[in-house]
Amino acid sequence: MALEFFNCEIVRQDEISITLQPSEGAEVERVMLKGAKANYSWSANGLKVDFDTHGDGGGESISYEKGRSVAEDSGVLETAFDGNHGWFWRNRTSDPVTVMLKTDDAYSDIKRLI
């Protein structure tokens, strides 16, 4: 993990691997300021998961994107408000799925919640 300061936020790079058993879900969120942009990519090791890219904080919440039976996704997430912004994945297959998440840019913390 590399860290440097940029406009009072930390520019960092992280990789997180999460193995989901059948019907299991997991959530990962980054702490970000309003208008911050962060690059991301994730893949489900050739299998498919349901996902929700979302944010919450300061009494606000948003769902940026949802998907069903998706093998991978990537892009740039620009935050709508200060708070926690990230993903929830659910394995709807009958096999274990490993989700590999890669993120980089301006956020101060990243954590797995579930």
Query: Using CA atoms, how far apart are residues 29 and 8, in angstroms rounded to an integer?
Result: 19
- pTM (two decimals): 0.86
Which is more confidently placed, 62 or 6?
Answer: 62
Sheet holding 9-20, edge to edge: 3-6, 9-20, 97-106, 37-43, 72-78
Domain that includes residue 73, residue range: 3-112
Of 4-18, 59-73, 80-94, least confident by mean pLDDT is: 4-18
Per-residue model confidence (pLDDT) at position 27: 97
Per-residue model confidence (pLDDT) at position 83: 96
How many structural domains does the chain have?
A: 1
Query: Using CA atoms, how far apart are residues 91 and 97, in angstroms rounded to an integer?
Result: 7
Per-residue model confidence (pLDDT) at position 46: 92
Using one digit for the tens of pLDDT, what is the confidence trace for 26-61?
999 999 999 999 899 999 999 999 999 999 999 999
What CATH number corresponds to the domain at position 7?
2.60.120.510
